[in-house]
Chains A and B, each alone.
Chain A
Amino acid sequence: MAAYRCYYPAVLLILCSFSVFVVADTEDATLINGQDVTALNSPQTASKTAAQTAEQPAVEERQWEATASAAAADDQDRTPDTPAPGAEVQPVVPPVLPEPKDSFQEELVFRPLHSGDIYASFQFRTLWETDFMRGNKVSHYRLFPKSLGQVISKFSVRELHISFTQGYWRTMQWGQPFLPSPPGAELWVWFQDSVTDVDGTWKELTNVLSGIFCASLNFIDSTNTVEPSASFKPLGIGNETDPRFLRYATLPREIVCTENLTPWKKLLPCGSKAGLAVLLKSEKLFHSSFHSQTVHIRPVCQDWQCKTTSWELRQTLNVVFDLHTSGQSKREWSLFKMFSRTLTEACPLASSSKIYIDITDNPQGEQFELTPATTLLSQAVVLGDRRTFSVYDLTQQATFGNTRSLNLLIRWKSSEGDMLRPLLHAERYVAGYGLQTGEIHTLMYNNHPYRSFPVLLLDSVPWYLRLYIHTLTVTSKGKDNNPSFIHYQPSKDRVRPHLLEMLVQLPPNSVTEVTVQFERALLKWTEYTPDPNHGFYVGSSVISSLVPSIVAMDTNSTRERPLFSSFFPCKEESSYFVRVYTEPLLVNLPTPDFSMPYNVICLTCTVVAVGYGSLYNLLTRSFQIEEPSPGLAKRIANVIRKMRGVPPL
């Protein structure tokens, strides 16, 4: 490089001046979309940054860059009157507006379910190109909620995932959810590897989040926190997967209600004032069979080359409305019936605002009818299945029609139809009777007709159910199915829970049963919950798997595709990631009598005293011949004689 500079000192000077120019140029140029100059300049900047980052840039590349800049310099030299292409447009752009580095998108997806219920999923996504880790320098917040930004920078969070769920997702009736979550509260966080005291940070973080979301996350302590080694990989960019920086906890007992929804809504840029969020009224949302709200923060790539990272805040709210509990006789749903509101506008801050309705099972409109109709269609591969959606774009005024409000109506025509069984689902229960021992059974169903696939099962069991790992059995189709990987961390009383992670291969079209025996502990009377005979919750098992895609399952369909593309069954989308949560368990423990502490202390101490007393008696006394005790009169006389100083009788 130095030698090179010696050869072309003049060229370098020009290069430097020009590069500054070009950088300013491209920034402005991106603002005015559709200018040719962007295309002209971008290869140069790209190669420049590559040259800056790489340690040993290729010689040819540098030469190419030098000649290009020399040519540009020649350009400048030759035509000093006409400004450079970038400078040409510069006066047009008002320079006061910097490029907003954050954006906001909102989406609402409806999936009509075969039972007549309806699944609505809100997705809000805020992207912000910033670096929270530079200390307290991030102080100007626009769309990103400040409370969460401060949490990220203060606790050096790399990824944060919270979900609050009321009700249990019925996979067999409803299919796979877009974003699974266990009943109660779930929190998992990846910390930056610069954090030294992960447990202390985790404790503080849970307390802060508890305040932000008005939830009992402060009940998360070491007794329900685990460090899964394989089940929870970072979802954002970053290759650090040392589980020491991961903390995972669930609170299956947590009850989700309005007080959790309000702070959640406040994190949205438009609040609940405009856009899709106006539909989020708690009186309707919590009158449903399933309700789940989540917050996910992770670093994502800004572009496909991943040169810059930005932070993604994704807030989702999933709700399943029940046909019967809503008290209607007809099988029809409208926005107003579901949310008691209609939509009038998109959030003005949102760059996109759309409603999707899954019409895959309804291509000809024989199942249900949509009003107002839309011509916009979209196809996407969701959870390994190719789905078709009707799209309503709320940023277009035409969507709202003459009434200036959108009230989507889905009216069923027939109750026929069958759902494709989910390829993977799981259930769990406690077997045994009495309060001494028990057995946890986890059933995992692989409904794929011919493909087996591995699943990762994660179980976190509280310490007061003492698991016996030697009783672990995994059977499928009546045969032992030895897990290829087991990670087991035994519990410590009052300190940490059991963690059981294992990799199990599920044979095709089978049920795999995992059983493990446990013993119920008797706790101290202060360790019981206020309603001890209600039982103790055990959080859901988590089953994570790459499931073969339904699209790839169809090896016979040569109808629509050319023959040359359909010989090998594997495609790029041949499998997809699924996380399945089982039911939480409710386990009874033996209880002491809570009204008796004083009695017990007294009685036990009495027994110890009987032991002590009888031994003391025998140890300190000696045998003597019993003298008959003198009569009362004689004793009194003796006392008087003693006072008089006369020897006693």
Chain B
Amino acid sequence: MAAPLTLLVIVAVTIRAALFRSSLVDVISERVEVVSPLTAWKRVVEGLALLDLGVSPYSGDVFHETPLIIYLFHFLVDYAEITFMLADVMTAVALYLAVKDYNKQVFRKQKYALEADRYPHDCHELIRSPTEMFYIPLKVAMFYLLNPFTILSCVAKSTCGLNNAVIAFFILSTIKGSVLLSAIFLALATYQSIYPLTLCAPALLYLMQRQYIPVNFRRVSFWWFIAQYAFMYLGSLCVIICLSFFLLGSFDYVPSVYGFILSVPDLTPNIGLFWYFFAEMFEHFRLFFLCVFQINVFFYTIPLSVKLKEHPVFLIFMQLAVISIFKSYPTVGDIALYMSFLPVWSHLHRFLRNIFLVSCVLLACSALFPVLWHLWIYAGSANSNFYYAITLLFNVAQILLVSDYFYAFLRREHHLTYGLYLKRKDGSEATLVLK
């Protein structure tokens, strides 16, 4: 398996290196879909330039990266291209290893269930075979490395790639069962952008499942494990925050990074829902809707955890998708991360209802983004509504995609319990509905 992965990495690096050398770099790095005010490489360079001038990069409203990113690129600014390529490769390898391990566990569980004869007899079609699962990790790595979204993000040197790498390492360490590393990487991801905080729920569920700790509020072991994890998480977060404080000698970055993420002052167009909504918002409702939209990102964590408590990895996928749809400054790099998980759920394809329509819409929107942007900004023959309409459609397509996968997942679980070919009481073929 190492050889195809190496080949894949070589291909991916070659594509990126070729694009870095081409004239497309300047065009790509200006694209609002690829870089957001939070992740733009231009702003990282600006922050470094401000440091050189002796001005705190957080005294202005251009730089919104965390101090660790400044520290990293203080040394690596000349090797930025290699850093970003390396981050992508590491993300892909981490996802590869994580999915490989996860598949092993899935297969083992399925074997136990089969041996215990827990599945209904007509469910043989739903049982996953090792040959089908063999190429999934490679497909995941391929989906990440060869996804045009990832490639664009990497070529634009969007720091989203680094955040993705941190999240991928978090997933890998969680699936490998390393509590400490999981907490550390989760703290890093939270520190980079607040939203991955919601990933603590699937991590806890997964680690508890692995350590055979029942999810039961009345059990001491449950609370003890949560306290352990919270201690490790908060401890590493504290260390990171103190480290950033000592790097720049002030807490200026807190309002400039987290305040910026939460209060959305920069309305530069992007693929998300926030920019036009808050550009057109009535002033006295602004705070209300800001709270509603931000809570919306965190809101789904608890119900999803309750529903998917047996399937934490699918919960991770759901959370990543929800974050990348509803976060304040989304870029295509965020979408690439959750899309790389799609091959893991390839066994759900028979239950997907509108995957064809959704993928068509996603493809069409991706093509229309630059077109309508050009019409609005450069040609002047369209206005902001055109671009806004495309972002709306794109987000609707993403929502449909995610909810479709969720539906398919729940339905497969239902069939695994109640049998694939359901019959009514009178013996005729039944249709399954949500009630």
Q: Which residues of A come within 8 Å of B, CB atoms?
A: 433-437, 463, 466-470, 486, 488-494, 498, 519, 521-526, 590-593, 596-597, 600-601, 603-604, 607-608, 610-612, 614-615, 617-619, 621-627
Contact = CB atoms under 8 A, between A and B. Distances in A.
Given A614-B400, A617-B434, A621-B435, 18 more contacts: A435-B376, A468-B45, A469-B49, A488-B53, A522-B269, A524-B267, A590-B384, A592-B384, A593-B384, A596-B385, A610-B399, A611-B399, A611-B403, A615-B406, A619-B304, A622-B414, A623-B432, A625-B431
Contact of A490 (B60, B273, B293): B60
Interface in B243-292: 265-269, 273, 275-283, 289
Contacts of B4: none
Contacts of B50: 469, 488, 490
B300 interface: yes
26 contacts: A435-B377, A435-B378, A466-B61, A467-B62, A486-B53, A489-B55, A490-B60, A491-B60, A522-B275, A525-B280, A526-B283, A590-B376, A592-B280, A597-B280, A600-B277, A600-B280, A608-B293, A608-B296, A608-B326, A610-B396, A612-B296, A614-B399, A623-B414, A623-B432, A624-B434, A626-B433
A436 B377 contact: yes
B59 A469 contact: no
A526 B300 CA distance: 33
A519 B40 CA distance: 12
Contact of A593 (B61, B283, B383, B410): B383
B412 to A, nearest CB: 11
A593 B385 contact: yes
B347 interface: no
Contacts of B269: 522, 590
A489 B62 CA distance: 12
A618 B300 CA distance: 12
B433 A607 contact: no
B384 A611 contact: no
Contacts of A615: 300, 303-304, 322, 403, 406
B411 interface: yes
Contacts of B325: 611
B174 interface: no
A618 B267 contact: no
A601 B30 CA distance: 28
Nearest to A621: B434
Interface in B27-70: 30, 32, 42, 45-46, 48-50, 53, 55, 59-62
Nearest to B49: A470
B363 interface: no
Contacts of B279: 522-525, 592
Interface string B139-169: 0000000000000000000000000000000
Nearest to B278: A524
B371 interface: no
Nearest to B265: A493
B20 interface: no
B191 interface: no
A480 to B, nearest CB: 15
A443 B23 CA distance: 29
B142 to A, nearest CB: 28
A170 to B, nearest CB: 31
Contacts of B424: 625, 627
B97 to A, nearest CB: 30
A437 B30 CA distance: 9
Contacts of A466: 61-62
Interface string B385-418: 1001000100110011001001100110010000
Contacts of B268: 519, 521-522
Nearest to B433: A626
B393 to A, nearest CB: 9
A597 B281 contact: yes
A521 B53 contact: no
B106 interface: no
Contacts of A614: 399-400, 403
Interface of B: 30, 32, 42, 45-46, 48-50, 53, 55, 59-62, 265-269, 273, 275-283, 289, 293, 296, 300, 303-304, 306-307, 322, 325-326, 376-378, 383-385, 388, 392, 395-396, 399-400, 403, 406-407, 410-411, 414, 422, 424, 430-435
Contact of A492 (B61, B306, B399): B61
Given A600-B276, A611-B325, A590 B296 contact: no
A454 B43 CA distance: 31
Contacts of A618: 307, 403, 406-407, 410, 434
B60 A492 contact: yes
A470 B46 contact: yes
A597 B284 CA distance: 13
Given A612-B296, A626-B432, A619 B307 contact: yes
B276 A604 contact: yes
Contacts of B306: 619
A467 B434 CA distance: 54
Contacts of A622: 414, 434-435
Contacts of A469: 46, 49-50, 53
A477 B289 CA distance: 54
Contacts of A607: 273, 392, 395-396, 399
Nearest to A490: B60
A489 to B, nearest CB: 7
Nearest to B40: A519
Given A601-B280, A608-B296, A624-B432, A488 B55 contact: yes
A492 B265 CA distance: 10
Nearest to A619: B303
Nearest to A495: B61
B354 to A, nearest CB: 11
Contacts of B278: 524
A223 B365 CA distance: 38
Contact of A604 (B61, B273, B322): B273
A405 to B, nearest CB: 58
Contact of A623 (B48, B282, B383, B434): B434
Nearest to B268: A522
Nearest to A437: B30
What 5 A-B pairs come out closest when comparing CB atoms? A490-B60, A470-B49, A614-B403, A621-B434, A600-B280
Contacts of A610: 396, 399
Contacts of A523: 267, 279
A466 B50 CA distance: 14
A607 to B, nearest CB: 5
A470 B377 CA distance: 24
